[in-house]
Structure 1
Amino acid sequence: MISAGEFRNGVTIEYENNLYQIIEFQHVKPGKGAAFVRCKIKNIKTGSVLEKTFRPNEKMPKAHIERKDMQYLYADGELYHFMDVNTYDQIALNASSIGDNLKFVKENEMVKVLSHQGNVFDIEPPLSVELKITDTEPGLKGDTATGATKAAIVETGARVMVPLFIEQGEVIRIDTRTGEYTGRA
Structure 2
Amino acid sequence: MAKASEVKTGNILRFNGELVLVEEFVHRTPGNLRAFYQANMRNVKTGKFIEYRFRTDEEVTIARVETQNYQYLYEEGDNLVVMDNNTYDQIYVPKVMFGDGVKFLTEGMQVTVAIENDEPIMAQMPSHVELVITYSEPAVKGNTATNVTKAATVETGAEIRVPLFINEGDKVRIDTRTGDYIERVK
TM-score, normalising length: structure 2: 0.78
For residues 153-175 of structure 1, give each alpha carbon's deviation from its aligned partner in whole angstroms, at most 9, with x where no partner exists.
32223343444443343211123
Q: Which residue of 2 aligns with 1:109?
A: 109
SS at match of 1:102: helix
Judge which range, 136-145 or 121-130, deviates more.
136-145
- SS of residue in 1 equivalent to 2:45: coil
Structure with the greater alpha carbon radius of gyration: 2
Structure 1 residue 16 displacement after superposition: 1.0
| Structure 2 unaligned blocks of 5 or more | none
Q: 1:49-60 alignment to 2 at 5 Å? A: 49-60=49-60
Using structure 1 for the length normalisation, give the TM-score.
0.78
Shift of 1:19: 1.0
Alignment map for 1:8-87 (pairs within 5 Å): 8-87=8-87
RMSD: 2.8
Please say if residues 101 and 123 of structure 1, whose CA atoms lie closer than 8 Å, have aligned partners that are also in contact.
no
Q: Distance in 2 between matches of 1:163 and 1:53?
A: 48
- Once residues 163 and 32 of structure 1 are traced to their aligned partners in structure 2, the CA distance between those partners, rounded to angstroms, is 59
Question: Could you give the per-residue CA deviations for residues 37-87 of structure 1, whole angstroms, max 9, x where no partner exists?
Answer: 333211112222222233344331211211232221111333322222333
- Distance across 2 between alignment mates of 1:155 and 1:95: 19
User: Percent sequence identity over matched residues?
Assistant: 40
Alignment size in residue pairs: 184
Unaligned runs of 5+ in 1: none
CA contact (8 A) 1:4 1:58 kept: yes
- The change in CA–CA distance for 1:29 and 1:107 in structure 2 (over 3 A counts) is same
Partner in structure 2 of residue 184 of structure 1: 184
Query: d(CA) in 1 for partners of 2:13 and 2:175?
Result: 27
> Secondary structure at the residue paired with 2:113?
strand
Shift of 1:115: 0.7
Q: How far off its partner does 1:21 sit?
A: 0.6
Name the CA shift for 1:28/1:143 in 2 (closer, same or farther; >3 Å).
farther
| Distance 1:166-1:50 versus aligned 2 partners, 3 A rule | farther
What is the CA distance between 1:98 and its match in structure 2? 4.8
CA distance in 2, matches of 1:51, 1:30: 17
